[in-house]
Amino acid sequence: MRAYPSDDRPGILPGIYRLYGAAAGTVSKGFLNRNPRMNTGCGRVSPHKHKVRGVFFVIDKLLLGNYQFRQTDFTPNIDYYRELASSQHPTTLWIGCSDSRLQTGHITQAKAGELFIQRNIGNIVPVHDWNFATVLEYAVVHLKVKDVVICGHSNCGAIRALDKESTDSYIPLWLNNAREAKTRVDSRISPPKTVLEADERYRMIEQENVRLQIEHLFTYPLLKKAVDEKRVEVHGLYYDLATGELKKIA
Ligand SMILES: [Zn+2]
């Protein structure tokens, strides 16, 4: 079934179609090799080349990706997406880190419409924060989600930044919301002597931070009330970038 008349031909993306022509249906290594802007001149594709040669190509790639999404997912599932267009009924409020390596829907195989998402640096639940409070209130009171998830992850830059001096204007202030996790872990263990021990310490802080943010979550009366009345359950999850495994830790 066609979603729009333009699905026969990508008329809405004339620039992209002109640039890539028949290749528009197959973004692949071969496609990238055929694109002169991705060619290093020695027959190899540099994974970094397109980043330094211009944002324009990156945007083209994203728009082309959207064209492919419509062809392979949106149009074949047009009834599902049309129903979603009029209303949403997510089951879960997902609070995760902004890290680009975490594709929330992908790693959980959740479909559009299932997760109501709040992402920020360090998967933090700030206390006394209007932005977060608004998301929480809308999710719990209006959307009536059944589960609230706080998801931390391995190699989190926010957690590693807790050890660094910074002259940034905003980041250190934001990370104050997670400092207690570092304090708690450092009070329990000896200073690491090896790289492995240092990595393990960071893993412990990342996981303690999830537990700390759950504590922050319960400072919001509307959330505590919903949990007390068994309308909502809170879960702490941890995602390992190296293995792809998502597990429950709290
Ligand atoms: Zn992170």
pLDDT tens per residue across span 110-137: 999 999 999 999 999 999 999 999 999 9
Contact 235, 150 (CB under 8 A): yes
Q: In 1-132, which ranges are E strands?
A: 92-97, 115-120
Q: In 1-114, which ranges are E strands?
A: 92-97
Phi, psi angle pair for 117, to nearest 5°: -120, 135
Q: 83: CA distance to ligand 1 center in Å?
A: 33
Of 11-15, 19-23, 53-57, 219-223, the range with the highest mean pLDDT is 219-223
> So where are the chain's domains?
5-80, 88-248
pLDDT exceeding 90 applies to what percent of the chain? Answer: 77
Q: Give the Cα separation of 135 and 143 in Å (integer).
A: 10
Please report the pLDDT score of residue 35 as a whole number. Answer: 45
Q: 169: CA distance to ligand 1 center in Å?
A: 19
Q: 153: CA distance to ligand 1 center in Å?
A: 6
Q: 36: CA distance to ligand 1 center in Å?
A: 35
Give me the amino acid identity at 87. S
Quickly state the pLDDT bin for 224 (edges 50, 70, 90).
very high
Please report the pLDDT score of residue 42 as a whole number. Answer: 33
- Residue 173 burial (CB count, 10 A): 10
Please report the pLDDT score of residue 30 as a whole number. Answer: 40
Q: 121: CA distance to ligand 1 center in Å?
A: 6
Q: Is residue 2 over pLDDT 50?
A: no
Name the one residue in this structure whose structure tokens are 């599902």: 80
Please report the pLDDT score of residue 174 as a whole number. Answer: 98
Chain CA centroid to CA 72, Å = 22
Q: 15 by DSSP, 3-state: which?
A: helix
Q: 27: CA distance to ligand 1 center in Å?
A: 29
- Residue 118 burial (CB count, 10 A): 19
Q: 80: CA distance to ligand 1 center in Å?
A: 32
Domain 88-248 indexed as CATH 3.40.50.2300: no
- pTM of structure: 0.80
Return the percent helix, strand and coil in the chain, to nearest 5. Answer: 50, 10, 35
Q: Is residue 28 over pLDDT 80?
A: no
Q: Is residue 6 over pLDDT 70?
A: no
